[in-house]
Amino acid sequence: MSTAERTAVTATRTRGLRRILRPRARLWLGTLAAALILFVVAPAALSGYQFGLLAQFLCYAMVAVGIGLAWGQGGMLTLGQGLFFGIGGYAMAMHLQLDDAGPGGVPAFMSLYGSGTVPAWWEPFRDPWITIGTIILLPAALAALLGYAIFARRVRGAYFAILSQALVAAFAILLIGQQASTGGSTGLSNFRGFFGYSLADPLNQRLLFFLAAGTLIGMVLLVRLLMRSRYGELLVATRDQEMRVRFLGYNPALVKTVAFVVSSVFAAVGGALFVPIAGIISPSDVAVVPSIMFVAGVAIGGRATLLGPVLGSLALSWVGAQLQDNYPSVWSYFQGALFVLVLGFLPQGFATLGGVLRRRKGDSR
Amino acid sequence: MTTTRPLALEVTGLRVEFDGFVAVRDVDLTVPAGELRFLIGPNGAGKTTVIDALTGLVRGTGTARFDGHELLGRPVHRLVRAGIGRTFQTASVFEGHTVLQNLDIAAGLHRRPTTLLRRRRGVPEEVLRALDTVGLDDLADRPAGELAHGQKQWLEIGMLLVQDARLLLLDEPVAGMSGEERAATGELLRRISRDRTVVVVEHDMEFLRNYADTVTVMHRGSILAEGGVDEVQSDPRVIEVYLGAPLDAPTATATARATGRETR
């Protein structure tokens, strides 16, 4: 039996399963399986190093889940999610730096590069609640403002993609230029604690992983809810026939902005959790290249499906890390080839493989 | 949904200009309530442009009032909320959604925004009624992309009914339809125009003769003639415009011959 045949058989089997299991049962089983893998299997099977890596990938996957909603469901190809990932990440990093420095203290890098005083706009981040509020509300407000302004002017497709990428490029340049207050190209690192918990303690690292895993599962469930709601139907309708939606009395700019805001908040939360897990945030984590990588995982996984983005992102990150460790010189070629192959043969991503094979089989009959 | 009092569309001095080219000029158009009005004219006469201007797709000057609302210069979605609905030359339904979902989205206009966050449970009353009116009951759960050409146009009309449009502007609804589908569409238009104001842009003379209450003829951006079907068909100016026009050459020639005999 060839691999293709075997996959086809599996596809038929899953289809059978799908017919038997009602949506609600599938939801519970799926959630349970994901929780089991992330909360039980992963900590037991992975080494400390791999476990830490997976924790980072979970944060990337949060961005991917958001892109799946904005791009897969809403048709907004955003190449600039690094902007929101960065806002969340830097807000968290600033709080951790100030927290490490103690009340009234000055982060070490500021004395090194700057005047040795904390800039006024840093001060609010001493407060943990203001920090958490900023991580969620600032990207939401920015995405709402930018999104509505862009979508109301009917900028879409490649133009929106270019615009979003230009924004993230400008953001990275801004960060690099402000070395005294953002750490410049080295970014912010060497965090010791996370809301009072020591980051060096392996138990706390594990808890951080669980926090990321739980958040990611929550995000996927929220997207599922949105996809199945009337709003989800409307969003897909807007993606496919924006003009028609307008002639049904809706404001498509508003419909799209909502999805863009949700996806931006997901990216920001991913960025915020990435900081204590990875121990660093720098312009190279938020610039153009990582922003494209977020999208690549979504494209390979299957942008218009529920699980495609999250699984695609996790798989791409994992394979990337393995190859980068073992064959650092070929990784980028492999990545390019994978991208071309998948999008050439499965334009809707791996998640549609089953459907494509089923159709093939149907045709040959 | 209540059966709303049908209202008249009143357009005066409508003018549409594209970069100095005047596509529509001095158009006065009054369509009384409950009337099935056909808007005809050779290619490039400005028929679709009139509809585009009335639905906010292109900028027009002058006045256009319906139900006490000024139509010109307002964003599309507000016009729709004021009861204006239109279709396009090419059916533009949501192909990936089922017939039911298409109609449900159209019905969303009259729901509170919070209902968007919930799942669709059951079928709204007005959706059932529209399914029945346009005759797509049996296809409710089919993806709209699988519908035949004519069925897509009916679905579009159904969507207008569900959104409770009281002024319907239909752009060539029977183009590309079979004879049977045309007849069905004509009957459908008759039925829905009883308590609504309906304007149909059309090329098909046969269809027009069978179903139009009144006809407005456009030529080079302005109105050439208006009246009952027979009245317009015997108008010498209309005959002149249509002579040699590829779409309806035989009919126009035939009419010309007929009227020519009369004048002799």
Of B81, B96, B115, the CB nearest to A240: B96
Q: Does A62 touch chain B (CB under 8 A)?
A: no
Placement of tokens 């920001």 in the chain: A268
Look up residue B100 and give its two tokens. Answer: 């039911």
CB contact under 8 A, B85 and A236: no
> Taking a contact as any Cβ pair under 8 Å apart, which residues of chain A between 189 and 228 contact chain B?
226, 228
**For chain A, which residues make up each domain, given as ranges?**
3-364
Tally of domains in chain B: 1
Are B116 and A229 inside 8 Å of each other by CB? yes
- For residue B160, the distance in angstroms to the closest alpha carbon of chain A comes to 8
Pick the residue of B78, B79, B80, B94 with the most A CBs within 10 A to test the interface with A by mutation: B94
B105 interaction partners in chain A (CB closer than 8 Å):
230, 233-234, 237, 245, 248
Contact criterion met (CB < 8 Å) for A248 and B81: no
Q: How far apart are CA A308 and CA A46, in angstroms?
A: 23
In angstroms, rounded to a whole number, what is the distance separating the alpha carbons of residues A31 and A223? 13
Q: What is the largest CA-CA distance in chain B?
A: 71
pLDDT-based confidence at A13, cuts 50/70/90? very low
User: What's the average model confidence in pLDDT over A280-301?
Assistant: 92
Q: Is the pLDDT of residue B92 over 90?
A: no
CB pairs under 8 A between A and B: 69
Please state which of the ranges A1-10, A61-70, A262-271, B220-229 shows the lowest mean pLDDT: A1-10
pLDDT of B82 higher than 80: yes
For residue B25, give every residue at least 6 positions away whose Cβ sits within 8 Å of its Cβ, in sequence order, or none.
Answer: B15, B221, B222
Between chains, do A233 and B101 touch, taking CB under 8 Å as contact? yes
pLDDT given for residue B247 in this prediction: 45
Residue B34 has pLDDT above 90, yes or no: no
Inter-chain touch B93–A241, beta carbons under 8 Å: yes
- Evaluate if residue A254 carries a pLDDT over 60: yes
Tokens 């994901």 correspond to A34
Q: How far is CA A338 from CA A297, A316, A344, in A?
A: 11, 10, 10
- The predicted model gives B32-47 an average pLDDT of 88
Q: Nearest CA to A332 among A308, A302, A296, A282?
A: A296
Task: List the one residue out of B51, B38, B87 whose CA is nearest residue B190.
Answer: B38
CB contact under 8 A, B105 and A229: no
Confidence of residue A21 (pLDDT cuts 50, 70, 90): low
Interface test with A, best of B87, B99, B104, B105 (most A CBs within 10 A): B105
Q: Output the DSSP codes for A304-350.
A: TSSSHHHHHHHHHHHHHHHHHHH-TTTHHHHHHHHHHHHHHH-TT-G
Angle at B137 between CA B132 and CA B139, to 5 degrees: 145
For Cα atoms B196, B198, B199, give the angle at the middle one, nearest 5 degrees. Answer: 165
pLDDT > 70: what percent of chain A? 93
Angle at A24 between CA A31 and CA A209, to 5 degrees: 10
CA distance A3 to chain B (A): 31
The nearest alpha carbon in chain B to A231 belongs to B116
| Alpha carbons B96 and A233: distance in angstroms, whole number | 10
Q: Tell me, what amino acid is at A295?
A: V
When pLDDT is cut at 50, 70 and 90, the band that residue B249 belongs to is very low
Closest residue on chain B to A228 (Cα): B119
Average pLDDT across chain B, whole number:
85
The confidence score (pLDDT) of residue A157 equals: 85
For an interface test with B, the pick among A248, A257, A258 (most B C-beta atoms closer than 10 Å) comes out as: A248
The whole-angstrom separation of Cα B181 and Cα B203 is: 16
CB A247 within 8 A of CB B80: yes
Look at B114 and B80; give whichever has higher pLDDT.
B80
The residue that leads in pLDDT, A324 or A227, is A227
pLDDT over 80 at A361, yes or no = no
Q: Does residue A248 sit at the B interface (CB-CB below 8 Å)? A: yes
CB contact under 8 A, B94 and A234: no
pLDDT digits (tens, 9 = 90+) for B148-195: 988 999 999 999 999 989 999 999 998 888 889 999 999 999 999 988
pLDDT band at A64 (very low <50, low <70, confident <90, very high): very high
Give me the domain span that covers residue B67: 9-233
Residue B4's pLDDT is: 47
Per-residue pLDDT at B215 exceeds 90: yes
Six-digit token pair at A106?
């000055």
Nearest of A302, A240, A298, A266 to residue A79 by alpha carbon: A298
A237 contacts in chain B (CB < 8 Å): 94, 97, 105
A249 touches chain B (CB under 8 A): yes
DSSP code per residue over A14-61: HHHHHHHS-HHHHHHHHHHHHHHIIIIIHHHHS-HHHHHHHHHHHHHH
Task: Say if residues A283 and A187 touch (Cβ distance below 8 Å).
Answer: yes
Q: What is the pLDDT of residue A363?
A: 64
pLDDT-based confidence at B260, cuts 50/70/90? very low
Q: What is the CA radius of gyration of chain B?
A: 19
The yes-or-no verdict on residue A75 having pLDDT over 60 is: yes
Closest CA to B7 of B82, B100, B103: B82
CB contact under 8 A, A241 and B92: yes
Any idea what DSSP says for residue B98? B
Q: pLDDT above 90 covers what percent of chain A? A: 61
Q: What percent of chain B has pLDDT over 90?
A: 47
Q: Chain B: nearest CA to A252, how far in angstroms?
A: 9
Q: What pLDDT does A264 receive?
A: 98
Residue predicted with more confidence, A133 or B253: A133
Q: Is B204 a residue whose pLDDT tops 90?
A: no
Cβ-defined contact of A231 to B116 (cutoff 8 Å): yes
Q: What b-and-e string marks burial along B129-157, b requiring 16 or more CB atoms within 10 Å of the CB? A: ebbebbebeebbeebbeebeebbbbbbbb
Confidence check: pLDDT of A12 > 50 = no
Q: What percent of chain B has pLDDT over 70?
A: 89
Dig out the tokens for B151 from the structure.
Answer: 């069925």
Residue type, A293: M
**What's the pLDDT score for residue A92?**
96
More confident residue, A310 or A343: A310
State the residue for tokens 């006024």: A120
Q: Which of B77, B96, B104 sits opposite A246 (nearest CB)?
A: B77
- Which of A352, A344, A71, A92 lies closest to A211 in space, CA to CA? A92
- C-alpha A42/C-alpha A45 separation (Å) is 5
Contact B117 A228 (CB under 8 A): no
Distance, C-alpha B49 to centroid of its chain: 12
pLDDT in tens, A187-241: 999 999 899 888 888 899 999 999 999 999 999 999 999 999 999 999 999 999 9
Model pLDDT for residues A30-50, shown as the tens digit of each residue: 899 999 999 999 988 988 889
Residue of A227, A233, A246, A251 to mutate when probing chain B, most B C-beta within 10 A: A233
The predicted pLDDT at position B250 comes to 47
CATH number at residue B64: 3.40.50.300
Those residues whose C-beta lies under 8 Å from the C-beta of residue A123, and which sit 6 or more positions away, are: none
Question: Which residue shows structure tokens 């990275």?
Answer: A172
A362: left (phi over 0), alpha (psi -120 to 50) or beta: alpha
Mean pLDDT rounded to a whole number for chain A: 89
Among B92, B96, B163, beta carbon nearest to A249: B163
Backbone angles phi, psi at B27, to 5 degrees: -90, 120
Q: A216 or A244, which is more confident?
A: A216
In a domain, B243, yes or no: no
- What ipTM score was computed for the predicted complex, to two decimals? 0.80
